[in-house]
């Protein structure tokens, strides 16, 4: 039954125009901003909202921003009460009012037509620094919200007149006041564009028609989303993802536990059992948890076919226990949540959604268990020759890989699931801006999780201080130095973790004077220190800073991968020869071609081992979310007869880039394998928190 | 009689325009011949000669200029049929083109909505596979200082191994080579010693600009299509010489200027996507005659809708166009924005909404009315609405099937939505036309302009069937459908100038007197290089115009804005002179109050264009006859538009209309290859150059 009242033609014409108007907001912001975070990272978004604050039209930039903005606009409406007039522009960055975190400043404005609010235009921009205890306002050292950037609720434009006192107060608190001033200009400019264009539109078609199109856009995508959810199988899927280290000096492990229940036309996400809120700044508010959770719903369930807007709230609900890392209580510190627990809610939700989709015949190919699962965020600063502070956020983390899909490999260097338009900077641009010389930036071999379809690769970047005496770093890596979170599905192995390392006292400059340093961390001597996820320190001449964001998980048993694809991956430098043997059991001849006889033998032998592993881990649950099949997908033996066996191995069995701090064998996590006792195929491989009594099995040995 | 000839190869037709010395314009078409496009060009010349009633050898012998727009480069890139390229780059950075700045390699050059399609997203196959990329032992820093000297013997050794893989072309792109080109030049020399006939493209020559990913991609594309274009142009040139042509063959580039056969290999990347640029060259020229310095161009093809801008008589440039999905190029191109909304766009519904596109029936199978495809398209809607006469399409060269059009719309759209076939067709037309208007608006506004300050030029076979409706809502000054509408790019070819472009990145923060000295020195060096190359090309170097541009930004910004600067010394003019130019343009684009007085300006890239105005005919202006067009009236036809429902429209034979004739809407002007809709309330007048000029009647 159609919800449309307007004729479909007028609807389509005006809807496209609204999309265009919103897009013009984005163009204005990108054009005016001086911040790399905005221009290359595209860490902002723009939206048009109904009079009641419902999001109707979202921009294609960072998804979580528009989701938090509709909550925030509703809070602005409530807080402002009667004090809303034509030409007002509000500014709010209060996480406890709906902002993602303090850096993300929302600027929203009611658009009046004939004395009534027709709609709200809004945008959110990540500002480079708004004060707080740490540079960049990602306050790794904060223990409460009072040590973070101030929380503003301001009317920055009153009835069309810029309040200069308000503007100045907002700007002056920043360590980068010029950049903040320009970004605020950009945000106000974007609103002005939207106001002008919406008025023109309403003059042409009438306010009522525009209002109807907004409402019906939301209603229509709601119908489509409910229908789509209705096509999926009912059930529940659970998973756990982890944060290893919540602040500098801590490697405490915190857990996000998530159960998705799909019933009829609704999805319910329940975070019961997640860790209590942290003393660090990584906590998520319930607003940002909703935004993180719905990101993969948009990305994988709606895709490009169903508009991304507030209608999602009707069919997708989220419960997060009060006082937990995913619903922290005031005055918990939250300034890193965007790349802290908000990020991890998206990681967990991506996984359970993938598990659900993998059980749907129709939508199985949309299942993708991981996509940029950690933000390997590194801020670096030094004093320039004239005393100014130079530096900021490095962008190399956007080289992260995506999980494999049910019918194809994961995307290499896919970036983050929050934003398909965030790009890495060129090395040359970085060297112009930062006091570093890059030693190499390369694809990280063996970083894609092994699987029938391989996970996407990530990158490895190394740099050394150049043209300066010292460089200070502050690292706010989401997770990934103890385990990876880069889960696969249906027997696919996890991809690389996310790791920041420092090599002290190298002879890198001696090496460079004759020859490039090669591409190996060990190539220039010195002492390699693998850091915890949150760290800070000082680099001096001859030290090397090196890091890699996460890879993507695999899909399906790697022993089922077409040997020709394995040979091609070796040839293209995607995987090592060792991985071809150890992860894929493929025999290659000296010319690189597949030795089918050898491969068949190796694969049979490997399956034999899997089938006969004693079940050592009855107590451990799968956390990949992969459902246990009722019969073996490979040999067809019913589960009741061919009961699967569960056994563990060190994480290094998945690849050389997991748990590097522990040489691949974390005391805290194991790889849990579930395999068929009849044919030996692996149904599930996942990282699990290891109980103390589990003795690890030997890993397959890896090439370095 | 001498002739100026422009030939433009398109997907279906190869268009030819012949302008006589007396300024008389004639045009013809021949079918394109994708396997050897030069056949199509030669056939078009034959058809053109017949039109003039002279022999083809007479035409070639009397050709004063022959300018060609070719899609050979574009097709080689899009279809991945270029040369086998190997890449040499700085050791440690071999993966730059495989990593592609993260998601950029997948999402650049595709619509945002497609980038949101996470489940099906795919990276394009790299042009140079990992196995053909090698690292060179060397390193230069941002200042140009050599950190690691080039190891020549290692390069030689590595090349010998690489040559065993038989690459046909080698691209060389080292870090910071645009600051210090010595290493690349040495590598080029070594390649030449080991393999004298090898095609070599080095980044410090092809695109000496900041940003290694884009610079390397540009160099690779040049290496990839260079040998293909070179081969094609050499063959075409030989054929033309055999046919008696004495004038030099000139090739249109995406910068809007032409280059010469000797230079196409080196400038190959600049020839890609030059197709639509001919239209802008023609528009600029026509604007000069009609007195318009601000022009919006719009071209509707089978699969795409292209919009371009001319502002103050100048092209808008795009410094890093995406040549294909994930393939950026640092080659200056006249900006043309394309969306997938053309005659072949397919209409569909989910039972609630009416959608048009993004799928297209293209030319194969084509619209339902072509007789093969089943999906209803925009062209089918135009047939159903009475805008296109199925018996008189492409000058009667193609018969359209009205029943198939009607059936397709009825089954796929009208019945599911509970509409009549006419209502559904009117809806399809309305939606796609509104979308065209939205794009025109976006392109204008994005550059900081107001459409009301512009005239709109609509061309391409189907463009003028849509333009009047959306131009009215944009408020443009006037809509002009040029006489050569159906061959407009070829018309532009015949009118283009010789243009050599030189560019170099050298970041300079403007402030001290030294910075001004350095600024002047860079321009002097670039100009010296430009003039030397111009002289070496064998062209007469008289009457050259030199145009300087810089790409500048506020220090700390990421994106530069390209501004036209004066040719005088900065030391004399003062640094504030640049600042004033920059801030004027900045405010016009981003709004008053967006400049930052305290922040220094940083020049990143210097550009010098050497332009030689070519000999051009003066177009003939015909005397105006009376307004009465009754003798060209061929009948009436029922039109159906959303705003009016069914109305009767007068139909005119556009090829017989005389200058001065006036036609009031509702009417349809049918030219051999173009359909022009004059909606109710609009008036069309034929001017002395036989352009149709349409205005909304004063209310």
* Rounded Cα gap, residues B637 and B677, in angstroms: 12
Considering only alpha carbons, which residue of chain A is nearest residue B128?
Answer: A572
pLDDT of residue A641: 60
How many CA atoms lie less than 13 Å away from B523 in the CB half-sphere?
A: 23
pLDDT of residue B544: 87
User: Among residues B200, B225, B250, which one ends one of the domains?
Assistant: B225
Q: Which residues on B lie below 8 Å from A13 (Cβ)?
A: 430-431, 434
CA nearest A326: which of A338, A341, A314?
A341
Q: Is B427 on the interface with A (CB under 8 A)?
A: yes
Q: Where are the alpha helices (DSSP H) in B335-487?
A: 378-384, 402-409, 415-417, 421-446, 463-474
- Say whether pLDDT at A344 is over 90: yes
CB contact under 8 A, A304 and B98: no
pLDDT of residue A642: 61
Q: Which residues on A lie below 8 Å from B123 (Cβ)?
A: 411-412
Considering only alpha carbons, which residue of chain A is nearest residue B594?
Answer: A185
Say if CB A261 and CB A233 are below 8 A apart. no
Residue ranges of B 323-382 with Cβ closer than 8 A to chain A: 349-356
Out of B105, B214, B430, the one facing A13 most closely (by C-beta) is B430
How close B143 gets to chain A, by Cα (Å)?
9
How close B147 gets to chain A, by Cα (Å)?
6
pLDDT of residue A219: 93
In chain B, the N- to C-terminal Cα span, in Å, equals 49
- With DSSP H G I counted as helix, E B as strand and the rest as coil, what are the percentages for chain B, rounded to 5? 35, 25, 35
- Count of domains for chain B: 3
Axis-axis angle for helices B152-163, B182-194 (nearest 10) = 50
Say if CB A415 and CB A400 are below 8 A apart. yes
In tens, the pLDDT along B336-353 reads 988 878 888 999 998 888
**Bigger pLDDT: A31 or B261?**
B261
Q: Among A191-200, A447-456, B194-203, which stretch is predicted with the lowest mean pLDDT?
A: A191-200
User: Among residues B402, B428, B454, which one ends one of the domains?
Assistant: B428
In tens, the pLDDT along B68-85 reads 999 999 999 988 999 999
In tens, the pLDDT along B622-669 reads 999 899 999 999 999 999 998 899 999 999 999 999 999 999 989 999
Q: How many CB atoms lie within 10 A of CB B460?
A: 29
Considering only alpha carbons, which residue of chain B is nearest residue A182?
Answer: B594
Distances, alpha carbon B22 to alpha carbons A90, B248, B388, B620, in Å: 65, 21, 35, 7
Q: How many CB atoms lie within 10 A of CB B613?
A: 11
Say if CB A668 and CB A244 are below 8 A apart. yes
User: Among residues B379, B403, B428, which one ends one of the domains?
Assistant: B428
- Say whether pLDDT at B557 is over 80: no
**B580 found inside a domain:** yes
CB contact under 8 A, A420 and B151: no
CB contact under 8 A, B147 and A459: no
pLDDT > 70 in chain B, percent: 99
Mutation choice for B interface testing from A1, A3, A13, A465 by most B CBs within 10 A = A13
**B621 found inside a domain:** no
Out of A399, A423, A428, the one facing B175 most closely (by C-beta) is A428
pLDDT of residue A637: 79
* Rounded Cα gap, residues B349 and B423, in angstroms: 14
Q: Scanning the structure block, which residue is given the tokens 């609204």?
A: A18
Distances, alpha carbon A503 to alpha carbons A79, A462, A531, A543, A682, in Å: 51, 10, 10, 6, 38
Strand partners of residue A125 = A44, A105
Residue ranges of B 237-276 with Cβ closer than 8 A to chain A: none
CA nearest B263: which of B473, B463, B538, B554?
B538
Say if CB B481 and CB B694 are below 8 A apart. yes
Strands (E), A159-276: 161-162, 235-244, 253-263, 266-270
In tens, the pLDDT along A22-34 reads 998 998 888 778 7
How many beta-carbon pairs under 8 angstroms link A with B? 233
Average pLDDT (B78-97) is 96
Quote the tokens at residue A362: 């129709």
Out of A189, A408, A426, the one facing B591 most closely (by C-beta) is A189
Domain that holds residue B89: 82-225
pLDDT > 90 in chain B, percent: 65
Mean pLDDT of chain A: 91
Quote the tokens at residue B14: 């190869």
Please report which confidence band the pLDDT of residue A9 belongs to, taking 50, 70 and 90 as the band edges: confident
How close A476 gets to chain B, by Cα (Å)?
20
Cα torsion A579, A585, A587, A592: sign: negative
**B485 found inside a domain:** no
Average pLDDT (A153-170) is 94
Out of A20, A424, A428, the one facing B210 most closely (by C-beta) is A428
CB contact under 8 A, B355 and A2: no
* Rounded Cα gap, residues B62 and A421, in angstroms: 54
How close A626 gets to chain B, by Cα (Å)?
18
How close A571 gets to chain B, by Cα (Å)?
7
How close A395 gets to chain B, by Cα (Å)?
9
Q: Can you tell me the ipTM of this complex?
A: 0.93
Average pLDDT (A526-531) is 94
Mean pLDDT of chain B: 91
Q: Is B92 on the interface with A (CB under 8 A)?
A: yes
Task: State whether B422 and B515 are in the same domain.
Answer: no
Average pLDDT (B133-137) is 96
* Rounded Cα gap, residues B685 and B699, in angstroms: 18
Q: Cα angle vertex B352, ends B351, B353, to 5°?
A: 110
In tens, the pLDDT along A436-463 reads 999 999 999 999 999 999 999 999 999 9
CB contact under 8 A, B102 and A423: yes
pLDDT of residue B697: 78
Say if CB A322 and CB A266 are below 8 A apart. no
**B144 found inside a domain:** yes
CB contact under 8 A, A24 and B445: yes
Distances, alpha carbon B365 to alpha carbons B377, B410, B429, B681, in Å: 11, 19, 20, 37
CB contact under 8 A, B559 and A39: yes
Output the CA torsion B229→B235→B236→B238 (10° steps): 140
pLDDT of residue A8: 83
Q: Is B486 on the interface with A (CB under 8 A)?
A: no
CB contact under 8 A, B557 and A459: no
Say if CB A285 and CB A95 are below 8 A apart. yes
CB contact under 8 A, B446 and A519: no
How close A73 gets to chain B, by Cα (Å)?
25
Q: Which residues on B lie below 8 Å from A438 (Cβ)?
A: 92-93
Average pLDDT (B139-161) is 95
Strands (E), A584-698: 587-588, 594-595, 645-649, 669-675, 682-689
pLDDT of residue B375: 94
pLDDT of residue B73: 92
Average pLDDT (A156-172) is 94
- Beta-carbon contacts of B425 under 8 Å, excluding residues fewer than 6 positions away, are B380, B381, B384, B385, B409, B640
- Say whether pLDDT at A703 is over 50: no
* Rounded Cα gap, residues B258 and B278, in angstroms: 10
pLDDT of residue A697: 39
- Say whether pLDDT at A573 is over 80: yes
pLDDT of residue B546: 92
* Rounded Cα gap, residues B15 and B44, in angstroms: 7
- Say whether pLDDT at A2 is over 70: no
Please report which confidence band the pLDDT of residue A695 belongs to, taking 50, 70 and 90 as the band edges: very low
Strand partners of residue B87 = B133, B171
* Rounded Cα gap, residues B653 and B270, in angstroms: 40
Are β-strands B13-20 and A669-675 bridged in parallel, bridged antiparallel, or unpaired? unpaired
**B552 found inside a domain:** yes
Q: Among A394-398, B449-453, B491-495, which stretch is predicted with the lowest mean pLDDT?
A: B449-453
* Rounded Cα gap, residues A347 and A494, in angstroms: 13
- Beta-carbon contacts of A354 under 8 Å, excluding residues fewer than 6 positions away, are A300, A367, A368, A369, A403, A489, A625
Q: Scanning the structure block, which residue is given the tokens 């106001």?
A: A195
CB contact under 8 A, B589 and A11: no
Q: Is B450 on the interface with A (CB under 8 A)?
A: no
Output the CA torsion B433→B438→B441→B445 (10° steps): -170
pLDDT of residue A694: 43
In tens, the pLDDT along B465-501 reads 999 988 988 889 999 999 999 999 999 999 988 888 8
Say if CB B665 and CB B682 are below 8 A apart. yes
CB contact under 8 A, A8 and B137: no
- Phi-psi category of residue B45: left, alpha or beta, with phi > 0 → left and psi -120 to 50 → alpha: alpha
CATH number, domain at B562?
3.30.1490
CA nearest B531: which of B606, B605, B608?
B608
- Say whether pLDDT at A408 is over 50: yes
How close A398 gets to chain B, by Cα (Å)?
6
CB contact under 8 A, A31 and B589: yes
Q: Is B148 on the interface with A (CB under 8 A)?
A: yes
Q: Which residues on B lie below 8 Å from A513 (Cβ)?
A: 147-148
Please report which confidence band the pLDDT of residue A3 belongs to, taking 50, 70 and 90 as the band edges: very low
**B35 found inside a domain:** no
Measure CA B642 to chain center: 33
Considering only alpha carbons, which residue of chain B is nearest residue A414?
Answer: B103
- Say whether pLDDT at A84 is over 50: yes
């Amino acid at each position: 039954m159609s919800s449309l009242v307007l004729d479909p033609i007028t609807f389509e014409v005006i809807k496209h125009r609204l999309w265009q108007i919103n897009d013009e907001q984005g163009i204005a912001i990108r054009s005016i901003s001086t911040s790399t975070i905005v221009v290359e990272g595209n860490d902002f978004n723009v939206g048009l909202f109904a009079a009641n604050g419902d999001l109707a039209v979202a921009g294609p930039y960072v998804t979580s921003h528009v989701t938090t903005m509709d909550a925030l606009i509703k809070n602005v409406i409530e807080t402002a009460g009667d004090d809303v007039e034509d030409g007002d522009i509000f500014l709010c960055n209060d996480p406890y009012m709906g902002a993602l975190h303090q850096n993300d400043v929302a600027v929203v404005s009611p658009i009046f037509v004939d004395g009534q609010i027709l709609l709200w235009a809004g945008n959110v921009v990540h500002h480079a620094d708004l004060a707080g205890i740490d540079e960049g306002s990602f306050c790794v050292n904060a223990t409460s919200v009072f040590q973070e950037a101030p929380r503003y609720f301001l009317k920055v434009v009153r009835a069309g007149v810029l309040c200069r006192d308000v503007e100045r107060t907002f700007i002056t608190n920043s360590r980068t006041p010029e950049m903040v001033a320009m970004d605020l200009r950009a945000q106000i400019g974007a609103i002005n564009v939207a106001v002008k264009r919406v008025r023109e539109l309403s003059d042409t078609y009438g306010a009522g028609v525009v209002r109807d199109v907004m409402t019906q856009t939301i209603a229509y995508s709601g119908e489509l989303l409910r229908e789509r959810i209705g096509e999926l199988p009912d059930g529940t899927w659970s998973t756990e993802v982890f944060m290893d280290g919540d602040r500098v000096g801590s490697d405490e492990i915190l857990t996000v536990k998530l159960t998705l229940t799909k019933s009829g036309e609704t999805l319910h996400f329940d975070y019961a059992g997640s860790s209590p809120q942290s003393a660090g700044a990584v906590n998520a508010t319930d607003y940002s948890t909703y935004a993180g959770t719905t990101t993969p719903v948009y990305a994988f369930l709606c895709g490009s076919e169903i508009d991304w807007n507030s209608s999602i709230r009707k069919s997708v609900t989220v419960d997060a226990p009060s006082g937990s890392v995913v619903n922290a209580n005031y005055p918990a510190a939250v300034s890193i949540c965007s790349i802290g627990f908000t990020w991890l809610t998206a990681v967990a939700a991506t996984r359970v959604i993938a598990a659900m989709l993998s059980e749907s015949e129709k939508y199985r190919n949309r299942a993708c268990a991981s996509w940029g699962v950690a933000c390997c965020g590194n801020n670096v600063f030094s004093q320039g020759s004239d005393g100014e502070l130079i530096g900021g956020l490095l962008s190399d983390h956007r080289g992260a890989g995506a999980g494999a899909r049910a019918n194809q490999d994961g995307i290499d260097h896919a970036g983050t699931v929050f934003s398909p338009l965030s790009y890495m900077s060129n090395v040359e641009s970085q060297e112009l801006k930062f006091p570093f010389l890059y030693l190499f930036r390369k694809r990280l071999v063996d970083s894609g999780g092994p699987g029938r379809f391989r996970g996407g690769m990530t990158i490895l970047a190394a740099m050394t201080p150049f043209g300066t005496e010292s460089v200070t770093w502050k690292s706010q890596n989401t997770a990934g130095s103890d385990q990876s979170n880069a889960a696969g599905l249906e027997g696919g192995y996890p991809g690389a973790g996310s790791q920041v390392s420092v090599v002290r006292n190298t002879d890198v400059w001696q090496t460079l004077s004759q020859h490039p340093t090669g591409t190996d961390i060990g190539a220039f001597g010195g002492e390699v220190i693998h850091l915890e996820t949150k760290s800070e320190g000082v680099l001096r001449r001859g030290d090397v800073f090196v890091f890699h964001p996460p890879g993507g998980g695999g899909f399906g048993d790697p022993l089922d991968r077409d040997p020709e694809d394995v040979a091609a991956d070796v040839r293209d430098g995607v995987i090592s020869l060792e991985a071809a043997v150890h992860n894929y059991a493929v025999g290659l001849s000296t010319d690189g071609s597949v030795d089918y006889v050898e491969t068949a033998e190796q694969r049979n032998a490997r399956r034999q081992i899997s089938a006969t592993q004693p079940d050592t881990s009855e107590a451990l649950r799968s956390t990949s979310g992969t459902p246990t099949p009722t019969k073996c997908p490979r040999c067809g033996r019913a589960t009741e007869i061919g009961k699967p066996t569960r056994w563990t191995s060190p994480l290094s069995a998945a690849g050389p880039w997991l748990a590097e701090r522990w040489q691949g064998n974390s005391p805290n996590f194991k790889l849990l394998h579930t395999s068929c006792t009849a044919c030996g195929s692996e149904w599930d491989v996942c990282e699990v928190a290891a109980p103390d009594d589990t003795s690890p099995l030997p890993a397959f040995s890896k090439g370095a | 009689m001498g002739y100026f000839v422009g030939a433009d190869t398109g997907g279906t037709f190869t268009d030819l325009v012949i302008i006589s010395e007396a300024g008389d314009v004639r045009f013809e078409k021949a079918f394109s011949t994708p396997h050897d496009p030069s056949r199509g060009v030669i056939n078009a010349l034959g058809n053109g000669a017949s039109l003039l009633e002279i022999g083809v050898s007479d035409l070639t012998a009397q050709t004063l200029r022959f300018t060609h727009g070719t899609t050979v480069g574009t097709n080689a890139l899009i279809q991945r049929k270029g040369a086998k390229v190997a890449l040499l780059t700085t050791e440690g950075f071999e993966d730059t083109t495989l990593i592609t700045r993260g998601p950029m390699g997948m999402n650049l050059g595709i619509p945002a909505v497609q980038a949101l399609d996470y489940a099906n997203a795919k990276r394009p196959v790299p042009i140079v596979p990992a196995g053909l990329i090698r690292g060179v032992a060397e390193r230069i820093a941002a200042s140009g200082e050599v950190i690691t000297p080039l190891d020549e013997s290692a390069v030689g050794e590595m090349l010998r191994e690489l040559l065993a893989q038989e690459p046909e072309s080698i691209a060389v792109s080292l870090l910071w080579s645009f600051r210090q080109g010595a290493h690349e030049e040495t590598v080029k020399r070594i390649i030449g010693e080991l393999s004298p006939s090898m095609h070599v493209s080095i980044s410090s020559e092809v695109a000496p600009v900041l940003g290694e990913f884009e610079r390397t991609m540009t160099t690779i594309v040049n290496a990839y299509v260079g040998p293909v274009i070179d081969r094609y142009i050499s063959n075409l040139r030989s054929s033309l010489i055999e046919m008696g042509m004495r004038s030099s063959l000139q090739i249109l580039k995406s910068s809007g200027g032409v280059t010469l056969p000797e230079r196409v290999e080196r400038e190959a990347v600049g020839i890609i996507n030059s197709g639509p640029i001919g239209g802008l060259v023609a528009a600029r020229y026509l604007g000069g005659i009609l007195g318009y310095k601000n022009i919006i161009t719009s071209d509707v093809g089978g699969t795409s809708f292209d919009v371009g801008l001319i502002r103050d008589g100048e092209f808008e440039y795009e410094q890093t166009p995406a040549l294909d999905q994930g393939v950026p190029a640092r080659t200056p191109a006249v900006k043309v924005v394309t969306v997938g909304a053309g005659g072949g766009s397919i209409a569909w519904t989910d039972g609630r909404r009416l959608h048009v596109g993004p799928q297209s029936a293209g030319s194969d199978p084509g619209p339902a009315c072509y007789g093969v495809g089943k999906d209803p398209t925009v062209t089918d809607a135009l047939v159903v609405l009475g805008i296109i006469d199925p018996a008189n399409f492409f000058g009667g060269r193609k018969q359209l099937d009205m029943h198939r059009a009607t059936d397709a719309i009825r089954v796929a759209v009208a019945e599911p939505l509970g509409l009549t076939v006419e209502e559904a067709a009117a809806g399809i037309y309305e939606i796609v036309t509104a979308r065209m208007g939205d794009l025109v608006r976006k392109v204008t506004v994005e550059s900081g302009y107001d459409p009301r300050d512009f005239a709109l030029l609509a061309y391409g076979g189907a463009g003028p069937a849509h333009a009047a409706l959306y131009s009215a809502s944009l408020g443009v000054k006037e809509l002009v459908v040029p006489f050569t509408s159906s061959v407009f790019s070829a018309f532009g070819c015949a009118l283009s100038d010789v243009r050599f472009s030189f560019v170099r990145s050298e970041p300079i923060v403007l402030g001290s007197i030294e910075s001004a000295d350095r600024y002047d020195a860079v321009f002097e060096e670039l100009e010296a290089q430009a003039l030397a190359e111009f002289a070496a090309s064998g062209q007469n170097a008289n009457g050259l115009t030199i145009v300087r541009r810089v790409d500048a930004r506020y220090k700390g910004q990421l994106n530069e804005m390209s501004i036209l600067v004066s040719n005088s010394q900065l030391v004399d003019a003062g640094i504030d002179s640049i600042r004033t130019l920059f801030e004027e343009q900045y405010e016009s684009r981003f709004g008053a109050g967006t400049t930052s007085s305290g922040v220094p300006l940083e020049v990143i890239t210097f550009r010098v264009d050497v332009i030689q105005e070519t000999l051009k005919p003066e177009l003939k202006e015909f005397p105006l006859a009376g307004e009465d067009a009754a003798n060209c009236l061929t009948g009436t036809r029922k039109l159906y538009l959303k705003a009016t429902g069914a109305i009767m429209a007068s139909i005119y034979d556009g090829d017989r209309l005389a200058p001065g004739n006036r036609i009031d809407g509702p009417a349809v002007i049918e030219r051999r290859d173009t359909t022009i809709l004059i909606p109710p309330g609009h008036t069309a007048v034929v001017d002395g150059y036989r352009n149709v000029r349409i205005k909304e009647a004063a209310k």
